[in-house]
Structure 1
Amino acid sequence: MESLKDTLEKVRKELHKFPEVSEEEYETKKRIEAFLEEHTSCEILSVAKTGLLAIFNGKKEGKTVMLRADIDALPIQEVNTFEHKSVNEGVSHKCGHDGHTTILLGVAKLLAEKPLSKGKVVLLFQPSEENGRGAQSVLEDTCFKQLNIDYVFALHNLPGFTKREIVVKEHEFTSNVKSVVITLKGKTAHAAEPEKGYNPANAIAEILHFVRQETKNIPEDSDFFLATPVHVTMGEKAYGISAGYGEVHLTLRSWSARLMKEKQNNLEQLLQKLEEKERLSINTSWFEEFYANKNNKEAVEYVKKAAEQLNLSINEINTPFKWGEDFGLFTQQYKGAMFGLGAGKNTPALHNPDYDFPDEITVTGAQLFYNILKEVQQ
């Protein structure tokens, strides 16, 4: 009989081989559904177009607990050459969502083999985490709104931490993140007579100065704020022309939602002044907004107790992670926690083209989630 580890490794490598980006996870959804139908008798519901809910009901009433796995891949070309490498050009699982999905499938198998006596378990296979639209789509889905959820939990694999180490933190676990594209439209002119046009260069310089001035990249401080220029462009490579158009692309990060709003307002006030001063038309487009994961103290205790039962090392960190994770939208609305699962000290970093989720930690993740479910129902 095939072991749980072997079963999960097989499905994880299949998911890795056939990755799909946000909002296009149609085949991934079919693979998840096929596994659930083969290994469980749970209720399976579609959610947020390309997502799934797997629902397990205990015989007695109890709490409703949601576990979430993200299922989308990234638009990154894989450089690995192993047999299960991505067959989809320019798309690959470089954040470990194939592993997160497999862990939740492992939970489903454990629940089928050892059902909980009470309560309800909702396994959410969520699409579109990478573009920040998945959690919102699930929350707006009529099917999901009918669930009366008490607790929510999710994990993220963490390269740089010892394999199977459980990383926890109360309050903020990840950062608030927003991206913005600033377009500056002026008027081209001859490069010898720039005064006859409206060049965005000075405005772009002031925006970049603002970024440098406002940034406080000290994660240990509560007023941590990081503005990162990710793309800047202006004009054309035509040396007789004074530019009339430019763009600045930024990401903003903070622990505090209040500070994020304050900095956003400061930036928009600066742009209003520059519009008048430089005689430009300046527009902003805000997108890929991620809310901070706010970990509930009680939920974190459930994670720690479950980890102790499995004799897993627990690492209570002091500083949140600077990356965004759209599970934060769930922890803003429900009691819950996101925690980390160590993926290995020497595992390539997330979003790197040579990253591959380590199969050695999959069963650990599944067993830990299962124990969390048991703890909540006690």
Structure 2
Amino acid sequence: MLTNFDLVELTELRRSLHRRPEISGEEVETAKFIVAELQKLNPSKIISGLGGHGVAAIFDSGVVGPTVLFRAELDALPIHEISDAAWRSEIDGKGHLCGHDGHMTMLLALGRVISRSPLKRGRVVLMFQPAEEDGSGARAVVSDPRFAEISPDWAFAIHNEPGRPLGYVSTRSGLINCASQGLKISLSGKTAHAAEPEAGISPAMAVSELIPALTALGPGGDLDDAFRLVTVTHVNIGEATFGIAPSEATIFATLRTAYDDAMAGVVAEARSLAINAADAHGLKVAFEVFDEFAASINDAEATDIAISAMNAIGVANGADGLPMRASEDFGVFGWNAKAAMLCRGPGEDYPALHNPDYDFPDDLIPIGAAIFERIARDLLG
């Protein structure tokens, strides 16, 4: 059980993390901070540098049993925070505006409880994952050879999701978060004087054709098994000048599908459109992939365990607002474990995630830790 003193300390820990945000792939100091706090809890083992800057603390009962992993994220966002809070970001242009500071603190809270009341069997792993925001972190963690030491049987995570009452949790079996991929299309031709555009090869017409064609590939609509959404998020043509007809253009498009196996088809169609447009206008085309997220699919048994745990401790829950179009790389942990993501509300009128005025509510720290602890006790005693 967490004491009032714990809650005061944990709140200050969360705010310390909030002050010093680090974006995906740069979580060096955040990882050091987490390791220092974990060492106070005397886990059986700490693995650092996992999949980049990831940290895993293993609490081993010494008795044969399943391994239960609880995940939090280390990274912040490249967004300038707008806040009057005393603990606002001290790093210009970066902020913990998705609540990952709070998620880390919930795991530290869980570690305190387990260190005082050890498990009866099996192991608990507190997984502090890097680079969630760009979709690379979970894949890097599970691909790290040292992840074989963890090899969880179960995996759980909580993400705060505005629009729900404070403390209310949405979850369900099946699809929670869509698969997505960022596709950068680069077109190149030949510049010319603006007075003689016919002497060059401009990508302008190809871009004007591709924007509606890409959008038509994924019109959105109901989030069923056939869901596809293509969003053109950025377009750039030539230089900001009046004297040069352009030769270069880039298009950024985010592709979304309900499930991983549908993504390959959308990607192939998008690339084909770009190749055909380039050929028609005498252009060269190249592609780059960014922010690749697997779909997050909740295992039915893991979901039932989480729901039973929440019911046992009086946490209101349901399936409101699910599934979601937004992506989350936690789904990777479900490839080899029974996994469940829980979406917990900070308040119905709370600022949206990734907004410059978002701040994790400290009142959610003990609620999240209590849910995780009950899941661990139900599975491991």
The interval holding the TM-score normalised by the smaller chain is: over 0.9
1:155 equivalent in structure 2: 158
The question of 1:67 aligning with 2:70 is answered yes
Amino acid at match of 1:28: T
Post-superposition offset of 1:376: 2.2
**How do 1:199-238 residues align onto structure 2 when only pairs under 5 Å count?**
199-238=202-241
Distance 2:208 2:160 in 1: 39
2:25 equivalent in structure 1: 23
The question of 1:4 aligning with 2:22 is answered no
The question of 1:269 aligning with 2:272 is answered yes
SS at match of 1:327: helix
Q: TM-score, normalised by structure 1?
A: 0.96
1:14 equivalent in structure 2: 16
The question of 1:109 aligning with 2:115 is answered no
SS at match of 1:204: helix
Post-superposition offset of 1:41: 4.1
Distance 2:52 2:257 in 1: 31
Post-superposition offset of 1:373: 1.1
From 82, 85, 100, the equivalent of 1:82 is 85
Q: CA RMSD in A?
A: 1.6
Once the two structures are superposed, what CA deviation does each residue of 1:195-249 show, in whole Å capped at 9, x if it has no partner? 3221111111121111232222214332221111111011123334321111111
Q: Do 1:154 and 1:338's aligned partners in 2 also have CA atoms closer than 8 Å?
A: yes
Distance 1:2 1:297 in 2: 35
The question of 1:169 aligning with 2:172 is answered yes
Once the two structures are superposed, what CA deviation does each residue of 1:233-270 show, in whole Å capped at 9, x if it has no partner? 11123334321111111111110223321111111111
Amino acid at match of 1:354: D
Once the two structures are superposed, what CA deviation does each residue of 1:33-58 show, in whole Å capped at 9, x if it has no partner? 22122234442121224221111111
Post-superposition offset of 1:2: 4.7
Q: Which runs of 5+ in 2 are unaligned?
A: none
Post-superposition offset of 1:277: 1.0
Q: Do 1:40 and 1:108's aligned partners in 2 also have CA atoms closer than 8 Å?
A: no
Distance 1:152 1:364 in 2: 18
SS at match of 1:344: coil
Identity of aligned residues (%): 36
**How do 1:176-195 residues align onto structure 2 when only pairs under 5 Å count?**
176-195=179-198
Distance 1:69 1:237 in 2: 42
220 and 49 in structure 1: CA distance in 2 versus 1, 3 angstrom threshold: closer
Amino acid at match of 2:20: F
148 and 233 in structure 1: CA distance in 2 versus 1, 3 angstrom threshold: closer
1:375 equivalent in structure 2: 378
Deviates more, 1:46-55 or 1:291-300: 46-55
Post-superposition offset of 1:146: 2.5
Q: Do 1:219 and 1:320's aligned partners in 2 also have CA atoms closer than 8 Å?
A: no
Distance 2:225 2:288 in 1: 27
Q: Do 1:160 and 1:342's aligned partners in 2 also have CA atoms closer than 8 Å?
A: yes
Post-superposition offset of 1:4: 2.8
From 240, 244, 248, the equivalent of 1:241 is 244
Runs of 4+, deviation exceeding 6 Å: none
Distance 1:249 1:315 in 2: 36
Q: Do 1:219 and 1:319's aligned partners in 2 also have CA atoms closer than 8 Å?
A: no
Q: Do 2:72 and 2:104's aligned partners in 1 also have CA atoms closer than 8 Å?
A: yes
1:36 equivalent in structure 2: 38
Amino acid at match of 1:134: G
Post-superposition offset of 1:73: 0.8
Q: TM-score, normalised by structure 2?
A: 0.95
Q: Do 2:23 and 2:131's aligned partners in 1 also have CA atoms closer than 8 Å?
A: yes
Corresponding residue pairs, total: 378
Distance 1:218 1:53 in 2: 39
Q: Do 1:201 and 1:234's aligned partners in 2 also have CA atoms closer than 8 Å?
A: yes
Once the two structures are superposed, what CA deviation does each residue of 1:328-376 show, in whole Å capped at 9, x if it has no partner? 1111332111111111112211001110000011100001001111222
Distance 1:73 1:57 in 2: 30
